[in-house]
């Protein structure tokens, strides 16, 4: 069997299973050696003559979450494809990789100042390589002109290079956002042909609204997404009311009640009475960022606020940009929630867009609405964390965290961008931050958290 074998005598089956498990791990599945062993045993029991049975055995033993079934199916299709097919993929991947290397090398040659290579990151070079030719030319022209420029009649020298690099970095950062904000622009897929094929197939499957970025969902799909968000909010609401703080189980014997209960037995402690677990209904306070950087997620935020307010009673909602705007106004007769919010925004002179000052918003929340920040409060923040006065905001958030039950931060910025966003790191210790830009993220968060 797999685990008992001498390493030199690893069978062909074991080798394939380990390789296949590696492929699955690279698309996100967690697979332990004991599960590979189960798969080997399963195949021994059911045989390998029937491909469908082999797939079923491997799926049952290696995939433990329904979310990963599509990844498994694609990996199985790719790994057990014919030799000829694998050779074709291998060739395509090698071609793509060499083409990409060529482009990167060209970028290295192009991005020079007076013959010296510029100090920029590999990703920034990749951004340049992905640009259309005329935009590349514009950058090259800028570099050429800068190299030949003069200051007070004296030609510039290499000491001007850091300045040029700064300008170039800014420009490439702009292009990165325009080209694709979320996916890293590095090599076009993996250099491993099988993995590259699985990734390609999975990208195609991503047409599913659940895994698509919420800002890329088309207007026709919104009614469907709205329903999904409402359903998720409903789940959140029922969980919030059902969930109670997991104190020590059974809380220990309550002596006073126990003695009272046992008086009828002459004081012999026949029956015991326990302290019951504390049931605490959480109060939700929702804080939504409506600044310019969040404009793309307007629809998501509307639906989330609306969905949640519809099903959770007594939820307090605030929007914030440069200042805090309470949205939990009273609904007038025959007024929809959306109309109420729009009216509130109009009265407060605020609209979507504009700058963000989270510190300001938190300070107002603390001073003007102290009752909202109680021990039973679950503070949910929906924001991308891009704000002015971030350090002050982080300090305020830390203070608030100490007064409330929990702070949940749904960040519409992908996790890998958190590092480079100023202040997101500062907010992290004071809250549970989750990336949340697809419905599948929201579903996952609710599953983990509630």
Partner 1 sequence: MNRMTLDQFEDALEEIGYITERDDRIALTAFLATELGKPLLISGPAGVGKTEIAKVLSQVFGAPLIRLQCYEGLDETKALYEWNYQRQLLKIQMSQDKLKEEDLFSSDYLLPRPLLQALVNPEKSVLLVDEIDKTDSEFEAFLFELLGEFQVTIPEMGTIRAQEPPIVVLTSNGERDLSDGLKRRCIFLNVEPPSVNKEVRILRKKVADLPERLALEVARAVHILRGRLSLNKVPSVSETMDWAKALLVMGKNDLDPAWVEATLTLLLKSQDDVDLFYREMGAERLLFEASKLGQEERHAHGKQS
Q: Is 24 exposed, middle or buried (0-12, 13-18, 19+ CB in 10 A)?
A: buried
Q: By C-beta, is 145 or 249 nearer to partner 1?
A: 249
CB of 175 to partner 1, least distance (A): 38
CA 104 to mean position of chain CA atoms: 29
Binding mask 424-443 for partner 1 (x = CB under 8 A): --------------------
Does residue 70 belong to the site contacting partner 1 (CB under 8 A)? Answer: no
Stretch near partner 1 under the rule CB under 8 A, chosen from 124-132, 267-275, 292-300, 407-415: 267-275
How far apart, in whole angstroms, are the C-alpha atoms of residue 176 and residue 163? 20
Q: Is 277 in the site for partner 1 (CB under 8 A)?
A: yes
CA gap 60, 198 in Å, rounded:
20
Dihedral sign from CA coordinates of 323, 215, 203, 95 = negative
Per CB under 8 A, does 246 bind partner 1?
A: yes
Q: Which of residues 73-112 bind partner 1 (CB under 8 A)?
A: none
The DSSP line for 223-255 is HHHHHHHHHHHHHHHHHHHH-----STT--B-H
Which of residues 10 and 69 has its CB atom nearest to partner 1 in the complex? Answer: 69
Could you give the 3-state DSSP secondary structure of residue 196?
helix
**Which of 63, 75, 315, 439: binder of partner 1 (CB under 8 A)?**
63
Q: What letter does residue 358 receive in the DSSP assignment?
A: H
Q: How far apart are CA 161 and CA 169, in angstroms?
A: 12
Short-list 317, 339, 337, CA closest to 328: 317
25 lines the binding site for partner 1 (CB under 8 A)? no
Please count the other Cβ atoms lying within 10 Å of the Cβ belonging to residue 169.
Answer: 15
Task: Considering the complex, state which of residue 74 and residue 289 has its C-beta at the smaller distance from partner 1.
Answer: 74
Out of 1, 48, 69, 374, point to the residue binding partner 1 (CB under 8 A). Answer: 69
In the list 142, 160, 352, 450, the residue contacting partner 1 (rule: CB under 8 A) is 450
Q: Is 193 exposed, middle or buried (0-12, 13-18, 19+ CB in 10 A)?
A: buried
264 is an interface residue for partner 1 by CB under 8 A: no
Residue 241 sits in the site that holds partner 1 (CB under 8 A):
no
Cα gap 155→168, rounded to integer Å: 20
Q: Does 243 bind partner 1 (CB under 8 A)?
A: yes
Which residue, 61 or 309, has its beta carbon nearer to partner 1?
61
* Binding of residue 177 to partner 1 (CB under 8 A): no
Binding partner 1 by CB under 8 A: which of 25, 242, 313, 342?
Answer: 242
| Phi-psi region at 26: left, alpha or beta (left = phi > 0; alpha = psi -120 to 50) | alpha
320 φ/ψ angles, rounded to the nearest 5 degrees: -145, 145
Output Rg (C-alpha) for the chain, integer angstroms.
29
Determine phi and psi for 263, rounding to 5 degrees: -60, -35
**Does 65 engage in binding with partner 1 (CB under 8 A)?**
yes
Least Å distance between CB 231 and partner 1?
6
Residues in the chain: 450
* Choice from 10, 19, 25, 32 touching partner 1 (CB under 8 A): 32
Binding-site size for partner 1 (CB under 8 A) equals 42
Distances 312 to 145, 254, 305, 324 between C-alpha atoms, Å: 61, 34, 10, 22
Residue 245 near partner 1 by CB under 8 A: no
CA atoms within a 13 Å half-sphere pointing along the CA-CB vector of 281:
8
The answer to whether 221 touches 122, Cβ cutoff 8 Å, is no
**Least Cβ distance, residue 45 to partner 1 (angstroms):** 5
- Minimum CB separation of residue 406 from partner 1 in Å reads 16
Longest dimension (CA), the chain: 108
Instruction: Tell whether residue 224 is a contact of partner 1 (CB under 8 A).
Output: yes
- Please identify, using beta-carbon distances, which residue of 38 and 389 lies nearer to partner 1: 38
For position 42 contacting partner 1 by CB under 8 A, the verdict is yes
Establish if 261 lies at the interface with partner 1 (CB under 8 A).
Answer: no
Among 26, 59, 344, 364, the residue binding partner 1 under the rule CB under 8 A is: 59
Beta carbon of residue 200, minimum distance to partner 1 (angstroms, whole number): 24
Q: How far is the CB of 108 from partner 1 (least distance, A)?
A: 43
User: In the beta sheet, which residues pair with residue 320?
Assistant: 289, 324
What does the binding site for partner 1 look like in residue numbers (CB under 8 A)? 30, 32, 34-35, 38, 41-42, 45-46, 52-53, 56-57, 59-61, 63-66, 69, 224, 227-228, 231, 234-235, 242-243, 246, 249-250, 268-272, 277, 444, 447-448, 450
């Amino acid at each position: 069997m797999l685990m008992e074998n001498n390493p030199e005598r690893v069978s062909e089956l074991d080798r394939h299973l380990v390789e296949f498990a590696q492929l699955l791990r690279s698309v996100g599945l967690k697979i332990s050696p004991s599960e590979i062993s189960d798969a080997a045993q399963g195949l021994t029991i059911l045989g390998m003559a029937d491909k469908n049975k082999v797939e079923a055995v491997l799926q049952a033993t290696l995939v433990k979450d329904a979310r990963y079934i599509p990844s498994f199916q694609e990996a199985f299709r790719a790994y057990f494809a014919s030799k000829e097919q694998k050779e074709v993929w291998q060739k395509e991947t090698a071609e793509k990789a060499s083409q990409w290397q060529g482009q990167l090398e060209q970028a290295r040659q192009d991005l020079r100042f007076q013959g010296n290579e510029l100090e920029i990151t590999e990703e920034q070079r990749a951004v340049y390589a992905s640009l259309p030719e005329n935009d590349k030319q514009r950058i090259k022209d800028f570099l050429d002109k800068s190299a030949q420029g003069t200051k007070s009649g004296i030609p510039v020298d290499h000491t001007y290079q850091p300045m040029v690099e700064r300008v170039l970095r800014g420009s490439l950062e702009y292009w990165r956002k325009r080209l694709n904000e979320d996916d890293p622009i590095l090599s076009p897929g993996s250099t491993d042909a099988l993995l590259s094929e699985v990734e390609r197939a999975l990208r195609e499957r991503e047409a599913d609204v659940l895994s698509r970025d919420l800002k890329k969902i088309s207007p026709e799909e919104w009614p469907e997404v709205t329903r999904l968000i409402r359903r998720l909010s409903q789940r959140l609401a029922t969980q919030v009311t059902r969930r109670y703080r997991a104190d020590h189980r059974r809380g220990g014997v309550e002596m006073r009640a126990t003695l009272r209960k046992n008086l009828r037995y002459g004081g012999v402690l026949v029956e015991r009475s326990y302290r019951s677990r504390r049931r605490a209904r959480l109060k939700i306070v929702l804080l939504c960022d409506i600044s310019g950087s969040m404009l793309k997620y307007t629809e998501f935020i509307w639906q989330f606020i609306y969905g949640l307010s519809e099903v959770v009673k007594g939820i307090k909602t605030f929007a914030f940009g440069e200042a805090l705007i309470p949205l939990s106004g009273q609904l007038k007769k025959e007024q929809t929630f959306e109309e109420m919010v729009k009216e509130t925004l109009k009265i407060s002179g605020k609209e979507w867009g504009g700058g963000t000052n989270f510190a300001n918003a938190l300070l107002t929340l603390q001073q003007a609405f102290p009752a909202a920040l109680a021990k039973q409060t679950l503070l949910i923040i929906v924001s991308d964390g891009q704000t002015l006065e971030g350090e002050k905001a982080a300090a305020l958030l830390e203070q608030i965290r100490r007064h409330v039950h929990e702070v949940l931060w749904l960040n519409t910025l992908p996790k890998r961008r958190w590092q480079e966003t100023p202040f997101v790191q500062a907010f992290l210790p004071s809250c549970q931050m989750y990336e949340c830009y697809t419905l599948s993220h929201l579903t996952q968060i609710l599953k983990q958290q509630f």
